Chains A and B, each alone.
Chain A
Amino acid sequence: MPMLNQTPDPKAIRNDSDPSLRSGFQKARNLFSTDHKIIGRQYFFLSLAAVLVGAWLSLLMRIHLVWPKAIILFLGEIKPENYLAQLTMHGTLMVFFVLSTVPQAGFGTFFLPLQLGARNMAFPRLAAVGFWTALTSFLVLMAAFFVPGGAPGAGWTQYPPLSALASAGPGQGLGTDLWLVSIGLFCLSSLMSAAGFVATTVSHRAPGMTWMRMPLTCWSWFVTSILILLAFGILLAAVVLLMLDRHAGTSFFLPGGLLISGRAIAHSGGSPLLWQHLFWFFGHPEVYIAVLPAMGVTSHLLSVFARKPVFGYKAMVGATLAIGALGFMVWGHHMFVSGMNPYAGFAFSTLTTAIAVPSAIKTFNWVATLYGGRIRYATPLLFSAGFVSLFITGGLTGPILAQPALDTYLHDTYFVVAHFHLIMAMAGLFAIFSATHFWFPRMFGRMMNERLGRLHFWITLFGAYAIFVPMHLLGIAGHPRRYSDLSGVQYVAAMAPLQKFITLAAIVTIAGQLIFLANLFWSMRRGPAAETNPWECGTLEWTPASYATKEGPGEWRPQVNHGPYEYNVPGAENDFIMQDAPAS
């Protein structure tokens, strides 16, 4: 571990809150910092920007669905092509730039080294380049809104031939090219970030930080990084191939004989199913890339706020590894009606059922961690409990969709929309909210407002359920997803009243997020100053010494003597023991 042996640079040991550091020069220097705490915060704000755009798009879509003639301020009436562009960009922003970014690259870059007792990531420059690549990727994606034809309208899954041919619809020209470039850059960014995570976990653990003393957050970030390394390379290859089909005359995904709006297409020999296999070979692990860090945060916080050790730590680690491994063997459950060989349906159905088992193990262990705890009902605990509830609700429709016979009917209906929004989007978001409230004092030196936090929690909990549970019924009644208008099919038109209810719930819920924004920005400037360890948590990011290593290599080299979740140990002075406390 060469980093640990470097002589400390005295200039590097500084305090963030020192006003002399707020000069313009310093800010510019911090902007391109290789310090993991700055990079983590940069990812946090990138995701915040992405989630604002993504939520705004979902609001526009919900309004257009039930009031197609509504005139939106500055935008006018929403047309079908606008709706499909909004749908594609909403999915892309939320999946890539929010759910795969802030729980992993955001909180992970900030807290992985601190929780392991390391002063920085293993490859600090790579981590910094990773962030700037992600930001570039985001800006390229946003540019798609402003080019002729607008943003792509083929959905975030970008199935060819629709996504491969500019003549297939508006947005399928330059907009789709920008989308592909953006996602290619995002793949590179994720690969760079994940390589640093794996190296940091393997080689930068403090003395005494054995694998089985790592907080479950670190386990999640580590396994997620391996998933990223294996999955994003495939997506990168796929977007390059699609780009070649679009501009270099290749036919990876384009079969012969295509006739698009009366025009013959001169490609032949490719297979649209190949894209689906490549995309979902990335796409399903991607779901776990999004949710594993959220699970790690939940395990961590339930223990801290129940003042109890995580129940079944080893089972939790095992379940994380099992989910990671099985996550690569279930992609075909997205393709039961795609024209894939029906025999493959048996295998993918069985493997998908198998992955429900470690997920259930985690749920049981979360509940058992809460059981009999001296629970502190602070905002992070509320959101973590909400995560468990949403995970149960969204998870239990998984084994239903895993059956090809039932999925035949439910595939591409609102039932699926409800399922993945609850389990991935809402559960993921709840973990992000709990992590934000929990780590805010460590990231920004101040406390967030509890009262606003709770109000925000109640609105979001009831809102999430009010929006997404009724969507199951739409799906059961056969409402296909990605319809920009309800009037085209009679039985769909009949479901307008429930769609209206969902839109109203969405408006209230999205408006409720303004409370979070206000709390976040107000607390950054005006929140009460935080103590060193406000939640009385035992992991290393809260040790006073860890604060002194700000921005650069210091002398911090903790000796770890304890497990991550030693709460209520008989005979101990406090109800928690720091990991670097002297061995008893």
Chain B
Amino acid sequence: MSVALRLALLLVVLGCVYLFLAHPYWFPAGASSLSGLIDHQFRIALWVFGALFVVGHLILVWALSKKPHAGGMASQGSWQLEVTWTVAVTIIFFWFNISGDHLWSSMMPPAKHGTEIDVEVTGAQFQWYFRYPGADGAFGKTDAQKFARPDEGNPLGIDPSDPAGRDDIVSTAMIVPVGHAVQLHLRAQDVVHSLFIPAMRFKQDTVPGMEIISHFTPTKIGAYEIACAELCGLGHYRMRAVVRVVSEAEFAAWLKQHGSF
């Protein structure tokens, strides 16, 4: 039984290692300014903790195969060993933790006003809406309870009496120019949703009653799927949208075309 258990554990380790090396499914290609750094951190994590997984199991298998003590009382413990492995894992875990803190800082830049493309994101059961402030650079006031008319082209409830809202553009796809920082203003109309753009390595919950500011900078032209990542009800699985990253000229043309209604 001893041999069988050890073989089984080794088989499990081999299977896991094979699966991760073959990885039939993996990260989508990154398309934001930070995706390279995040992927790098992931690779470190997978190597470090993958190695600990393998070593941990090999030690377990080795301990199971060790011949019993020939006599005398077995060891009840050793403070030297306890201190050694405590210090060792503390160093590994906290080194990894601190390296991640730097990355987290760079993902959460202080809001800089003026240079970013502002996009307001609103989650509603089961649809994403993206709003652009238009030529005046200001979002119109909204009151969904009073003015929202999804079938009349005003799903967000932009206040018709607010001049800042007249040139706002509301879209069901997010269009952003390549290479520009995008500042998202995330909101939700009904329940908690979560805007997840895997290619941008971006995820942020949208919470009713809050406006959450978040950033990403797309670096590759293309179309990328958005999924909802927070259970929001029956249609959670199909609350999909697309980010279209386009050239600057194309973005300007799109704004112009949609801004003049």
Which chain A residues border B12 with CB–CB below 8 Å? 389, 461-462, 465
Q: Which of A485, A490, A568 contacts B225 (CB 8 A)?
A: A490
Which chain A residues border B116 with CB–CB below 8 Å? none
A539 CA / B194 CA spacing, docked (Å): 51
A270 touching B209, Cβ below 8 Å: yes
Which chain A residues border B192 with CB–CB below 8 Å? 159, 161-162, 272
A483-B64 contact given A372-B69, A473-B19, CB 8 Å threshold: no
B85 touching A311, Cβ below 8 Å: no
> Least Cβ distance of A379 to chain B in Å?
10
Which chain B residues border A80 with CB–CB below 8 Å? 234-235, 237
A405 touching B107, Cβ below 8 Å: yes
Q: Determine whether B42 belongs to the interface, using a CB cutoff of 8 Å to chain A.
A: yes
> Least Cβ distance of A537 to chain B in Å?
16
Q: Determine whether A81 belongs to the interface, using a CB cutoff of 8 Å to chain B.
A: yes
B205 touching A338, Cβ below 8 Å: yes
A491-B225 contact given A255-B209, A409-B201, CB 8 Å threshold: yes
Q: Determine whether B189 belongs to the interface, using a CB cutoff of 8 Å to chain A.
A: yes
Q: Size of chain B's interface in residues, with CB distance under 8 A?
A: 98
* B interface: dominant SS: mixed
Q: Determine whether A342 belongs to the interface, using a CB cutoff of 8 Å to chain B.
A: yes
A372-B41 contact given A349-B100, A405-B107, CB 8 Å threshold: no
Please encode chain A, from 484 to 527, with 1 for each CB lying within 8 Å of some chain B CB and 0 for all others. Answer: 11111111101101100000000000000000000000000000
B25-33, B132-140, B159-167, B253-261: which lies at the interface: B25-33
B207 touching A153, Cβ below 8 Å: no
Q: Determine whether A443 belongs to the interface, using a CB cutoff of 8 Å to chain B.
A: no
Q: Which of A272, A484, A568 contacts B209 (CB 8 A)?
A: A272
A11-19, A175-183, A259-267: which lies at the interface: A259-267
B82 touching A161, Cβ below 8 Å: no
Q: Determine whether A375 belongs to the interface, using a CB cutoff of 8 Å to chain B.
A: yes
Q: Which residues of A contact B (CB under 8 A)?
A: 80-81, 84, 153-155, 159-162, 168-170, 255-262, 264-265, 270-273, 307-315, 337-339, 342, 345-346, 349-350, 353, 356-357, 360-361, 363-365, 367-368, 370-375, 377, 382, 385, 388-389, 392-393, 396-397, 399-400, 402-406, 408-409, 411-413, 454, 458, 461-462, 465, 469-470, 472-474, 476-478, 480, 482-492, 494-495, 497-498, 567-570
Q: Which residues of B contact A (CB under 8 A)?
A: 1-2, 5, 8-9, 12, 15-16, 19-20, 23-28, 38, 41-42, 45, 49, 52-53, 56-57, 59-60, 63-64, 66-69, 71-78, 81-82, 85-86, 89-90, 93-94, 96-97, 100-101, 103-104, 107-108, 124-125, 143-145, 148, 150, 157, 186, 189-192, 194, 196, 198, 201-205, 207-210, 212, 225, 227-240
